Amino acid sequence: MDEIFAIASSLWKRLLGVKVVYFLTACAITLIAITNLYDVLMIGENRALMVDTGMMLVTAAAMLTVISLAFDIPKELQSGVASVLLAKPLGRTHYLIGKLMGISWVGIFITGLISIGFLVIYSISHGTPGQELVKALVLICLSVIPMASVVLLFSSFLNEAVAATISTVAIWLGYSLFALKGFTLYDLSVFNMGAEAFYGYEISTFFVVKAAFSALLTAVSFLCLTSFIFNKRDL
């Protein structure tokens, strides 16, 4: 367990040590604040623009954060860092779990940071945000976990560029698979409740719990698949 935490915290320190992460977070929060100036251009619908931009930027931040894993693992494998790590009494599955945990922490931290900034700006501009808005943001933060597991799968056997591209496509499609009737193996649209939050429809806490459970199950299933492939790989 200690090894898993060591790998996770190493990824956490490395990614959050990059100053540009905070700069981009500040840019995202500034963009959200700017939408409040679109009152006339939107014919009074600037609240909608603020909520939708906020949700979009939090989701985009989640996507970009997890995609950074597609560069991290292949790079470690190519440079031999992973081989050194795996030479120690550390299983390949532990390595993958460590990476998944690390990127999930980073993703949840960054999306959480932007979400808090968004909620502060919203409360200054439009009054106290409703519970539904907070729950919708929590759901986006949770979506980091299944997204990270998808990236983990592709980055375990593909090179950086290909893994990043395919992961982006897989995440993008993950939100649209609900359109294919009956397809419920993997669906990221369960974390998209932005419209419901904006229109004030009630999102129960049980719904959020179910979505969190689905996030964990998606991560576990992808992790099993990744581990199966990764263990077969000749490093």
Partner 1 sequence: MSKSNIIKILIFILAVGLNVKTIQSIHNDQKAINSDRELVTKMPMASFHKFWADVKWMLYIQYMGSIDLTTDKNSKDLFEEAKSILDLDPGFYKVYEISALMLSAKTPDYAVELLERGQKTQENKDDWRLYQLAGNIRHQETFFNKKANRLDKIQDAIGYYRQALTKPGVMPVLEKTYIKIKAQERYEQDKNLNLLVAELQEWDKYINEKALSPEYGMEAEGDMMLSVDEDTKSNILNLIQRIKREVPEDLTGKNTSQKLLKSIFRDIKTCGTCYVEYRAGDKFCSNCSNPVKTFGTCPNAQCGKVHSGGKFCQHCGTGLKVSKARKKR
Among 23, 172, 233, 235, the residue binding partner 1 under the rule CB under 8 A is 172
Question: Hey, what are 51's tokens?
Answer: 């909520």
> Could you tell me if 149 and 170 are in contact, meaning their C-beta atoms sit under 8 angstroms apart?
no
User: CB within 8 A of 173, min separation 6: which ones?
Assistant: none
Among 25, 65, 111, 214, the residue binding partner 1 under the rule CB under 8 A is 214
Q: What letter represents residue 47's amino acid? A: R
Q: How far is the CB of 65 from partner 1 (least distance, A)?
A: 15
Taking CB under 8 A as the rule, does residue 207 contact partner 1?
Answer: yes
- Give the Cα separation of 21 and 48 in Å (integer): 27
Q: How far is the CB of 217 from partner 1 (least distance, A)?
A: 4
**Burial grade of 54 (CB within 10 A; 0-12, 13-18, 19 or more):** buried
Among 41, 89, 127, 128, the residue binding partner 1 under the rule CB under 8 A is 41
Taking CB under 8 A as the rule, does residue 201 contact partner 1?
Answer: yes
- Give the Cα separation of 106 and 15 in Å (integer): 7
Residues that bind partner 1 (CB under 8 A): 38, 41-45, 48-49, 52-53, 55-56, 59, 63, 171-173, 175-176, 178-179, 184-196, 198-199, 201-204, 207, 210-211, 213-214, 217-218, 220-221, 224-225, 227-228, 231
